[in-house]
């Protein structure tokens, strides 16, 4: 009797196992009832001529379009400008820099983006970093290059600073990157790639001051005038529209120019996962943001 019961259980178990086996076979054959794995997410189409997305946890590429093709980078160059400044030994972020007429003349002559710094004002290094990264001030970039380059003349100091930018690029292994300017307004030899810029941004974001600056939407600086009074500057607004339109965005920098087109180096964190990426040579500011969002969505979908 007991044996019979055991046999009955065996029989039931066999029938159940067979049923499971048949069902599994049908599912495998038809694809029914199966969840689409994250890795099967469809790669998006972007308007930008080049793009790259990376899993920040391990540096693995998640998307690539002409990712190693050298292109003009516009003001995304300023990521390296800030990184070089923040890498200075014994850096005092509260040190004051007097704004020179040369900085103002420079942005006027180049029609460059500006933080609207006022000649004679004393501005801290910290404030200059905000002026560099939020409104993309080429005047702020010039002031920082002049401050942190070495040499007895302004031209020598600027050349020295750009040299530091290229030294840092080599140290980071950015083999397809070269700078000939402190702000992206190059002279024919200022270029990088989506992959290199993404790696640069990931490295720069290891610095807490850099992270704080690039995730800030607006900033109002109080500078010291020639007479010693306090001037409240006009509010600087971050040109990275993803900060207000894509949940989890943590940075990092826009760029644009006749040669560069519209560029964006971006980063976002969701559910404990961080994705970095770059789009170069998109068609306008709205489109570069759209391209970036598509790549972020794809990156997070790939990570599951």
User: What are the pLDDT digits (tens) for 148-196?
Assistant: 999 999 999 999 999 999 999 999 999 999 999 999 998 889 999 999 9
Contact 271, 247 (CB under 8 A): no
Dihedral over Cα of 180, 181, 187, 191: its sign: positive
| pLDDT at residue 186 in the model | 86
pLDDT category, 39, cuts 50, 70, 90? low
Asked if residue 254 lies in contact with residue 76, where contact means CB atoms within 8 angstroms, the answer is yes
CB atoms within 10 A of CB 209: 15
pLDDT at 40: 67
Higher pLDDT, residue 124 or 33: 124
Q: Which residues pair with 253 in a beta bridge?
A: 265
CA–CA separation, 213 and 148 (whole Å):
19
Residue 21 has pLDDT above 60, yes or no: no
> What does pLDDT average to over the chain?
90
Active site residues: 75, 78, 136
pLDDT band at 112 (very low <50, low <70, confident <90, very high): very high
Confidence grade of residue 25 (pLDDT, cut at 50, 70, 90): very low
Residues 6+ apart with CB under 8 A from 187: 180, 181
Q: What is the pLDDT, as a whole number, of residue 22?
A: 39
What pLDDT digit, counting tens, does each position of 274-294 carry?
999 999 999 999 999 999 999
Residue 208 above 90 pLDDT?
Answer: yes
CA distance 67 to 78: 20
For residue 55, the tally of other CB atoms under 10 A from its CB is 17
The per-residue pLDDT for range 54-107, each reduced to its tens digit, is 999 999 999 999 999 999 999 999 999 999 999 999 999 999 999 999 999 999
Tell whether the model's pLDDT for residue 17 goes beyond 80: no
Print burial letters for 138-155: b (CB count within 10 Å at least 16), e (below 16): bbbbbbbbbbbbeeeeee
pLDDT at residue 3 in the model:
40
pLDDT at 11 over 70: no
How many residues in total does the chain contain?
304
How many Å separate Cα 295 from the centre of its chain?
A: 13
Which one-letter DSSP state was computed for residue 217?
A: S
Q: Residue 53 — φ and ψ, nearest 5°?
A: -135, 140
Residue 32 has pLDDT above 60, yes or no: no
Q: What is the pLDDT of residue 100?
A: 98
Asked which of 25-34, 108-117, 118-127 is least confident by mean pLDDT, the reply is 25-34
DSSP SS3 for 224: strand
């Amino acid at each position: 009797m007991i044996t019979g019961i055991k046999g009955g259980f065996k029989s039931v178990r066999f029938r159940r196992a067979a049923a499971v086996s048949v069902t599994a076979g049908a599912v495998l054959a038809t694809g029914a009832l199966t969840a689409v794995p994250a890795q099967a997410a469809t790669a998006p189409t972007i308007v930008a001529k080049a793009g790259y997305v990376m899993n920040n946890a391990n540096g693995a590429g998640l998307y690539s379009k002409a990712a190693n093709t050298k292109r003009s980078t516009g003001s995304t160059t300023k990521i390296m400008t800030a990184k070089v400044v923040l890498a200075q030994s014994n850096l005092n972020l509260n040190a004051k820099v007097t704004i020179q007429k040369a900085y103002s003349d420079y942005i006027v002559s180049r029609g460059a983006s500006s933080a609207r710094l006022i000649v004679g004002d004393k501005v801290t290094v910290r404030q200059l970093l905000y002026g560099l990264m939020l409104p993309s001030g080429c005047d702020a970039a010039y002031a920082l290059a002049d401050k942190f380059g070495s040499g007895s003349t302004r031209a020598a100091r600027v050349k020295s600073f750009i040299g530091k930018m290229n030294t840092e690029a080599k140290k980071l292994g950015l083999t397809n990157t070269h700078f000939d300017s402190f702000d992206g307004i190059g002279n024919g030899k200022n270029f990088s790639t989506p992959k290199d810029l993404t790696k640069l941004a990931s490295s720069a974001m290891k610095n807490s001051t850099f992270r704080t600056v690039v995730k800030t939407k607006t900033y109002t600086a109080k500078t010291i005038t020639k007479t010693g009074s306090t001037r409240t500057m006009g509010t600087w607004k971050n040109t990275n529209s993803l900060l207000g339109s894509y949940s989890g965005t943590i940075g990092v920098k826009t760029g644009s120019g006749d040669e560069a087109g519209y560029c964006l180096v971006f980063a976002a964190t969701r559910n404990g996962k961080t994705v970095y990426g770059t789009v170069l040579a998109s068609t306008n500011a709205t489109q570069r943001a759209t391209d970036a969002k598509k790549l972020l969505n794809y990156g997070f979908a790939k990570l599951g």
